[in-house]
Structure 1
Amino acid sequence: MSIIIENKGKGDFMNPMTLPKVPMAPITSSEIPVGPEWGYQIKWDGVRTLVRLDGNGGVEIFSKRVEPRNDRFPEIVELLSPLRIGACVLDGEIAYFDGSRPNFQRVLVGVNRKKYDENMIFVAFDLLYDEGEDIRPLPFKERYSRLASKFPEKQPRVFVTDLVYDGPALWEWVNTREWEGIISKKLDSPYVEAKKHKYWFKKRKEVRITADVVGIKLKNGYVSSLVLRYDDRYVGHVSGIDVASKKVLAQFMQQHPGECPFETLSPGMKKSNVVWLAVPFPCRVTALEFSDSGILRQPKLLGFGAEG
């Protein structure tokens, strides 16, 4: 199922270039498929983005839910407007590159992000339309070849991510440099929506952080989970607290009551029974990844205190 988003004003398209309802998404896997039928790309730690270009300077940016995002990323609109690569739809990520690796926290839209930031980049990895032609049915290798030909030189802030053919070597590279992970793609695969396929797989390194516990969430009056802050942002809450720790935490929250450190809370958090702490303390957490909204996915408590 696809949707058409009409265009008005500058950059109207003769061909509406129908966008997918949701972009094609890789399936999480602990294994790296190998063989001549597979290619591999770095998993950039950014925000998934579709870009529609009219070939004459018109740029439309969409989120992975296909919601307009030009207002959220004006620096990317400005970056892509000079491109003259024909009417096309690019699939990629908007990332923040800190000089050594992508930084997901810095790319998130929020009160701490500058309106214009020259460290924001756009990395393309697939091509859905080429000169207005829908090429999603074509094999990924051909779509990628067409995409790469549009960007013969890699610019610092807009480029096509490399396609390599040694998955284990790429995995070793990203681990050594503490990047997020890799995507394995079947070279003959068409572009299909969401995860309705067995063509793309992602393997990512585990997220391990030391977060501040700034609140204790209660359920039926008893300690249930810990509210976490990381890089001055709310990143979720974690449970898995043993009985002995719950007793200590119950006493601690009575001794150190405080106020909520966040300017805003989600509707769910507003309804929760949380005792905020005047004295935060560190805990170690692991998770699958950060969501696009900056929340830890499937967090697990490793222990209290910072790593030594």
Structure 2
Amino acid sequence: MARMPEIEGIRMIGASGSGATATVFRGHQIAVDRLVAVKTVPWPLDSVERAAMQRRFRREAEALGRLAHRHIAGIYYYGEADGFGYCVQELIDGRSLRSVLEAGERLPLAAIVLIMGQVTSALGHAHQRGVIHSDVKPGNIVLRPDGSAALVDFGIARVTDSNATVTQMVQGTPLYSAPEQWNAMALDERTDIYAAGATMLHLLTWQRPFTGTAEQVIHRQLTEEAPPPSRLDPGLPPYFDPVIRAAMAKDPTRRYATVADFATAIERAWTLCHSASDPAGPVLSPARRVLPSRRSRRRPGLWRKMRRFLNAL
């Protein structure tokens, strides 16, 4: 674990996590009396590499600072200190979907649809502002105390250029990363769509898209199509199979073009699923910011039940 940094105006409390390129600390912002998350990125020793990383850090921090969305953990400000850069961010006290999965707590289908609607809404906001998350996974989706989801850790996010693509060094989490992330290819919002699809597949089935060592997972991502959810769990309705197939296509050109398209497909699958069991129609509409429809407000039972479930996690 990295050493505790000293940042003016922040009383550091302790480390809360670390990754390949950054460490996150819990801190107290004294001036406004609030708890914050402080992400630190150490500078390389080589002067040329350090200058390049500093330029990229500033550019990306400024871009992330422009994101303001209910389902994205906000960035308050960023700065540089001796030997590292840092971002002071919103601290979300909640449970990640990874911890929910590891605890063996299976989410209802309606809750998964709600969460994915919020995640796609957050990604759409970022993509419209030229930011690719590039590490969407259950561990980076946190449930707030009110049950809503927040997308966190834009630590390896990339800012797109005028062609709406970006080439990055190999980073990400193998279980959920798109094939192009291992081929050093240009990334765009379809990279996030793949990872969101892999996350949804895991939530639906309780099974990871691919299994094995990191090398085996990457090889399978590059050579195999993702399994349909209903094959992994025969108890699931088949309506989400084509949704996951399109989101996780190996070839980016065969995926949904935008997260809005992905959200619409999720809504359509949910409509088919719910209509098959209840002719009164769907309760949720993720493409409409995942708020209950007028019809569901007349029939609020499932909505209230789902909210109570999420709040209890």
Q: Answer whether TM exceeds 0.5 for this pair.
A: no
Higher helix share: 2
Which has more radius of gyration? 1
TM-score (norm 1): 0.27
Higher strand share: 1
TM-score (norm 2): 0.27
Q: Considering Cα pairs closer than 8 Å and 6+ residues apart, tell me whether 1 or 2 has the greater RCO.
A: 1
